[in-house]
Amino acid sequence: MKTVITNFLIIISFSTYSQLGNTMFGLARSTNPAAVYIATMNPSTGIATNVGQTSVSTSINLTGAALNPYSNQFCFFGDNGLKSIDLTTGQITNTATVNNPNGVGYFDLFRFNTSDTLMYGLSRRNITNPQTGVVTGAMYLATIDATTGTITEISPTSVGQGFAYSGSAIDPHQMVFYYSTGAQLVGLDMYNGSIFSNPTLSFPNGGQNFDNFTYSCADTSLYGLVRTNYYSQVYDPILMITTQVFDSAAVHLGKVNPMTGAVTKVSNQSLGVSSFSLNGSSTIDPINLTYYFISGSMNGNAIYGVSLQTGLVVSQAPISNPGALYFDMMRIQSDCYESQPTRFESSAAIQDPVLNSANVLVYPNPFLDQITVSSETELQKIELYQANGLLLKTNEVSGVEFILETSELKNGIYFLQVTTSKGKEIIKILK
């Protein structure tokens, strides 16, 4: 029975992509004067169009950004804290000062998880040994509240001391957060913050680095850029030594097996670039199955689109925006929209439903402050679950109609498990 439900949830995720659209958003920024705007990008033409006419910051932190398609907000770290920007108006809706109850530190590589509507990232801080005074770095998987700036660390102990600027990714189906140390691809269990996988990256068919990786909900794979560096031998007659000098680089689209660390090339030939931006600038269009990244050169920045199926460049265009030089932190609205976990926490209480329709009606859906549940048969119990299967509310009821208060719930995806005299049904609901 569990397999049937798992497959059904994936089908729901795929079918909703077209409902939202696949607009690409990011941060258009200039340096003189320093200004940052939320902008949309046409990857075919390279034209970035500012949403709103007011700069929302003068600087950005290049280690994380999140697009919440349910609240229509884009979050990043700017001048004075975590900023939330309305995607419709381009205006600041909230600025939060970061607060970690466990100590002063940083919050990096964060992304929005569409399956439980939380923002996950790496909380870094220093820990001082009270006996020796020795300071060591510590890092934890954590969530952050965009409204208050409060960081909640999930990992019971430190998972490492640092990360490489290779990107980050969330698998909303397996509920795993990925980052790289450069040599290893680390997967963290988003339920408890422990290390889920930690393989050493290997390149069976060539390559040295795996960068700008991101998760594709279209085919549940991790894609990124495989970089191979080439060096020339240069002899110094004065010092009488031979050194290696960087000569050129080849870049291919690749994918990685997160359990083994094996990186394979999707592109049979180089993408024709030697450098690319590492500042969170990669995203996937799940409708057109295209991976996008930013390439930089002396002639300016360009946006490249690469087919996930063939590895061939399907579009490339110089970035154009009046007054802005860069386009960072690309995110596409429909990427992983309404995805659901297929791996539940072992303590999750949700049960498989009996496939016996009780003609249960739930409305409104989407909902705001309350939900009405009605049935043609006697209601017995109504349980509300988060998308990850954790129980939030239990109501023992009677009769054929019940009103559930939901004003305290955050925007996101939930499940109602309704038990009637005929059996159980699970209904997906959205706030």
| CA geometry: angle 193, 197, 201, nearest 5 deg | 135
Q: Where are the beta strands (DSSP E) in 240-390?
A: 241-256, 263-265, 282-285, 290-297, 300-307, 313-318, 326-332, 361-363, 370-374, 379-386
Model pLDDT, residue 37: 95
Instruction: Categorise residue 327: left if φ over 0, alpha if ψ from -120 to 50, beta otherwise.
Output: beta
**Binning pLDDT at 50, 70 and 90, where does residue 358 land?**
low
pLDDT above 70: residue 270: yes
Highest mean pLDDT: which range of 174-188, 217-231, 264-278, 392-406 = 174-188
What is the H or E stretch that residue 87 is in?
none
Q: In a 3-state reduction of DSSP, which class is residue 11?
A: helix
Q: In a 3-state reduction of DSSP, which class is residue 214?
A: strand
Residue pLDDT, tens place only, 313-346: 999 999 998 777 789 999 998 889 888 887 877 6
Domains (range + CATH), the chain: 2-332 (2.120.10.30), 361-430 (2.60.40)
Lowest average pLDDT, out of 85-99, 135-149, 273-287, goes to 273-287
Mean pLDDT of the chain: 86
Q: Which residues lie below 8 Å from residue 346, measured CB to CB, with a gap of 6+?
A: none
The fraction of the chain above a pLDDT of 70, given in percent, is 88
pLDDT above 80: residue 46: yes
304 or 386: which leads in pLDDT: 304
Instruction: Categorise residue 173: left if φ over 0, alpha if ψ from -120 to 50, beta otherwise.
Output: alpha
Please name every residue paired with 285 in a beta bridge, in sequence order, or none if there are none.
Answer: 290
Residue with tokens 């950004």: 65
**Number of other CB atoms surrounding residue 305 within 10 Å:** 18
Instruction: Find the radius of gyration of the CA atoms of the chain.
Output: 24
Q: Which amino acid is at 415?
A: F
Q: Which residues lie below 8 Å from residue 3, measured CB to CB, with a gap of 6+?
A: none
The count of residues in the chain is 431
Mean pLDDT of the 387-409 span = 86
Q: Which amino acid is at 346?
A: S
Lowest average pLDDT, out of 32-41, 126-135, 343-352, goes to 343-352
What is the H or E stretch that residue 7 is in?
helix 2-15
Whether omega for the bond prior to residue 33 falls within 30 degrees of 0, making it cis, is yes
- This prediction's pTM: 0.78
Residue pLDDT, tens place only, 169-198: 999 999 999 999 999 999 999 999 999 999
Q: In a 3-state reduction of DSSP, which class is residue 21?
A: coil
Q: Would you list the DSSP string of 130-179?
A: TTT--EEEEEEEEEE-TTT-BEEE--SS--BS---TTBEEEETTTTEEEE
